[in-house]
């Protein structure tokens, strides 16, 4: 279970921080968006403790799957340069498409 990961010092806004490789989060997704602290053990040694947020296991699994899907979708969109801003014109076109459409109450209960 013990893996080593290279980290690099980096500037983050007006602060400094450490950059973790993407591999770390792929192998340990529970640490994404987690908080923690760093403790200095000696002048040249520190230990980092990252505490994952505890959630319901089912919610965590669904959240993880959604995050993995969104990460994949964004990576694909960026790779193919297919992202474009959602404009007012697009919003109006979508509204025009659904204008006058009515749903039965029965179909709402099934959703």
pLDDT value at position 97? Answer: 95
63, 64, 38: which is closest to 49 by C-alpha? 38
Question: Cβ(25)–Cβ(31) under 8 Å?
Answer: yes
Give 15's strand partners.
12
C-alpha pair distances (Å), 66 with each of 3, 70, 73, 93: 26, 6, 10, 28
- The predicted model gives 90-95 an average pLDDT of 94
In the chain, beta strands by DSSP E: 8-12, 15-19, 35-42, 45-51
Residue 20 confidence (pLDDT) above 80: yes
All structural domains of the chain with their residue ranges: 8-110
pLDDT value at position 46? Answer: 86
pLDDT digits (tens, 9 = 90+) for 37-73: 888 888 888 888 888 876 555 666 777 888 888 888 8
Higher pLDDT, 110 or 68: 68
């Amino acid at each position: 279970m013990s893996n080593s990961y290279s980290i690099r010092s980096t500037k983050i806004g007006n602060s400094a921080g450490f950059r973790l490789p993407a591999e770390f989060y792929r192998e340990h997704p529970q640490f994404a968006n987690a908080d923690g602290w760093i403790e200095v053990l000696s002048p040249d040694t520190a230990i980092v403790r990252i505490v994952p947020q505890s959630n319901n296991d089912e919610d965590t699994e669904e959240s993880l799957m959604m995050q993995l899907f969104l990460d994949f979708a964004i990576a694909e969109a960026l790779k193919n340069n297919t992202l474009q801003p959602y404009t007012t014109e697009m919003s109006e076109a979508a509204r025009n498409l659904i204008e006058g459409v009515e749903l039965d109450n029965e179909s709402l209960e099934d959703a």
